[in-house]
Structure 1
Amino acid sequence: MKLKRLSIGYRTLKTAVGVILAISLAQLLQLEFFVSAGILTILCIQPTKKRSIRAALSRFIASLIAIGYAFVFLEGIAYHPAVVGLMILLFIPVLVSLRLADGFVSSSVIVFHIYSAGNLTGSLFLNEILLMVVGFGTALLVNMYMPSIEKKLDDYRYQIEVLYAKILHEMAVYLKDGKSDWDGKELMETEELLGKAKALAYQDVENHVTRLENKYYRYFDMRQDQFEIIERILPKISTLPVLVKHAQLIADFLNDLADHVHAGNTAYHYLDKLEVVKKEFSLLPLPKSHKEFQSMAALYQVIEELDSYLEIKQSYRGFTNKKTAEE
């Protein structure tokens, strides 16, 4: 059996560094149970900055609640395993109702410290607070560094634009020739790529604490909406009863559009061109058969869908594309 290649990611490296710093600092401060500072750090190292902050905050609050429960149950009843079990039985539903369930493990660490000490004194309370500050604080500190993923996002953007251009060209080929040997694999590739790109863009949003949105996420979201329109257009084109002259107009427009797929926003230019196509469409001869009428009706629906496709792009503010010149 072939073993997977050993690799150490940023998160793994940051976790190791965080544990070293947390335990060292807790030991330097001569805290009881100083090793637990490393455990608290591990629990707060998250894939993004915002998630790390939320994790630290929820775990800190959950631990404070746990200390209150420990005081009521352990000090009020007895330091006994059955009492700890009863306390946990009542503690978990409270955390769930407060949406702090992720803080259960870290708060349990604090409770077991109190149980081990056998007495909740003021000095032990301060010790546990400092352990949380050191453990959670160290996790936040090491998680402030996140490698830039903009290059990967730019690559996804460029790949999606190439796929869109290919799809639009193939649609034009079918409208011109009435047939095509295209296997449509770009459709599946686009759907998969959009999913990956949006997930990565959302991660980038989560890595900027004060930023509420992300230009890449908006871009991929816009392309997702356009892709849904493309999926609606394709059946209309591929099931035309007969080819009519009107199809050539739309084919030429699609080829032009495909040659200028990019991240900037010049959709207004193509909306104007589409208006010209509509006028020329209306000037062509009326249908002579029912099949021609069906084809013309389907093509007019394609024009309406293309109008929506461009409206979506026009509502997007866009940003400078480094790899392509001009949609």
Structure 2
Amino acid sequence: MKYIYNLAFKMAVSATIALIIAELLNLDYATVAAVIAILSIQDTRKKALVIGKNRVLACLIGLALSIIIYNFIGHNSIGFGVFLIIFIPLTSKLKVEEGMIATVVLSTHLLVASNITLIMLKNELLLMFIGIGIASIANLFMPSLEDSFKDDREQIENSFRIIISRMSKSLITHSVDIYEQKLMDEIEENLKESKNRAYKIVNNNFFNRSSYYIDYINMRINQFDIIKKMRIHFEKFYMSFEQTKLIAEFTNNVAENITEDNDCKELMKNVLLLREEFKGMELPKSRDEFENRAQLLQFLNDIEEFLNLKRNFAITYIDNKNKTLE
């Protein structure tokens, strides 16, 4: 069953069926229907629908131009050149470039004919509709990517937990895990793959237009950018204070609560409580202590921004969902 989702398999089957139908109808140039079917196979339903529409529009425009130009200039190389000079820029202007190649092929059939008849036009239109029609049916069979995205989500969240948990330890030890950069590279690659999968999920579903998958992965990508900023602070941390321990404990608490359904309300409240507690603590005694504590507070600002991104996401998806269930 999994083969039905494979692009190469769908291309082969669609081309074969399109050719068989075209031959059964005794169409001239039947193999063109097979080529159009191959060109019309796409990796998402939305993309297939858009390209199919563009290809039909380009074909109708191209055939109309062919009739006018070949009848006035002649069925010769000059006529074909004029057709291309007009048609190619026109497809670009109308944003239907996907139909250019197939239409040019259909136009050559009219070019080599001594006279353009309704039967010939019917032949070209049927070649196009058979190729696009069979491919459209094949494009309905798309793999469900929700489970794969769920696995991506769990892996991303687990990686975030690990990296932020290590940061909480580094605040105390002033040392960075040697495998941290490897983990960062893996997270970045996973985020790219997950974003691609998110767009495919949305573009494969015509009825549910929720942008949850895209919004979720964009939120995690923005959080990852903040994690990169947080790492930079460790280049300047070399002193420990009372605040260091408090922020380290809070950072570890953040790491433990990185989950899809966490709305970050309590964590955001804890940030405010930490700030209030810091205000009552003794002021820095030296320039070095001042600079290190300033970096520590900036680190806390970054954590707050990290949480705020998830909080905004939660307001849209988690809080509204809970209200609906109440």
The match for 1:129 is 125
Counterpart of 1:300 (choices 292, 297, 301) is 297
| 1:83-130, Cα deviation, whole Å (9 max, x unpaired) | 212321232111122222221111012102212333221222222222
Partners in 2 of 1:101 and 1:50 — Cα distance? 17
Q: Is the 8 A contact 2:75 2:113 kept in 1?
A: no
The match for 1:273 is 270
TM-score with structure 2 length normalisation? 0.90
| 1:17-69, Cα deviation, whole Å (9 max, x unpaired) | 11122122223333333222111111111111111111111111111111112
Counterpart of 1:67 (choices 60, 63, 69) is 63
The match for 1:194 is 191
Q: Is the 8 A contact 1:204 1:214 kept in 2?
A: no
Secondary structure, aligned partner of 2:262: coil
Counterpart of 1:264 (choices 255, 261, 266) is 261
Q: Is the 8 A contact 2:33 2:127 kept in 1?
A: yes
- Give 5+ residue unaligned stretches, structure 1: 1-6, 320-327
| 1:124-176, Cα deviation, whole Å (9 max, x unpaired) | 22222222221111111111110112222112111111110111111111112
Counterpart of 2:247 (choices 226, 233, 250) is 250
Question: Which amino acid letter does the alignment assign opposite residue 249 of structure 2?
Answer: D
Q: 1:287, CA displacement in angstroms? A: 1.0
Partners in 2 of 1:227 and 1:310 — Cα distance? 12
Q: Is the 8 A contact 2:5 2:141 kept in 1?
A: no
**Which is further off, 248-257 or 107-116?**
107-116
Question: Which amino acid letter does the alignment assign opposite residue 126 of structure 1?
Answer: K
C-alpha root-mean-square deviation of aligned residues, in Å? 2.0
Q: Is the 8 A contact 1:249 1:281 kept in 2?
A: no
| 1:220-253, Cα deviation, whole Å (9 max, x unpaired) | 1101111111111221233124221111111000
**Which is further off, 262-271 or 211-220?**
211-220
Question: Which amino acid letter does the alignment assign opposite residue 292 of structure 2?
Answer: S
Secondary structure, aligned partner of 1:148: coil
Partners in 2 of 1:300 and 1:147 — Cα distance? 47
The match for 2:217 is 220
**Aligned-pair identity (%):** 29
Partners in 1 of 2:36 and 2:179 — Cα distance? 53
Q: 1:8, CA displacement in angstroms? A: 9.9
The match for 2:134 is 138
Question: Which amino acid letter does the alignment assign opposite residue 83 of structure 2?
Answer: M
Partners in 1 of 2:162 and 2:105 — Cα distance? 56
Counterpart of 1:104 (choices 78, 89, 100) is 100
Q: Number of paired residues?
A: 314
Counterpart of 2:11 (choices 11, 15, 21) is 15
The match for 1:56 is 52
Question: Which amino acid letter does the alignment assign opposite residue 169 of structure 1?
Answer: S
Query: Quick check: which one's helix share is greater?
Result: 2
Partners in 2 of 1:214 and 1:23 — Cα distance? 39
Deviating 4+ runs (over 3 angstroms): 180-183, 210-214
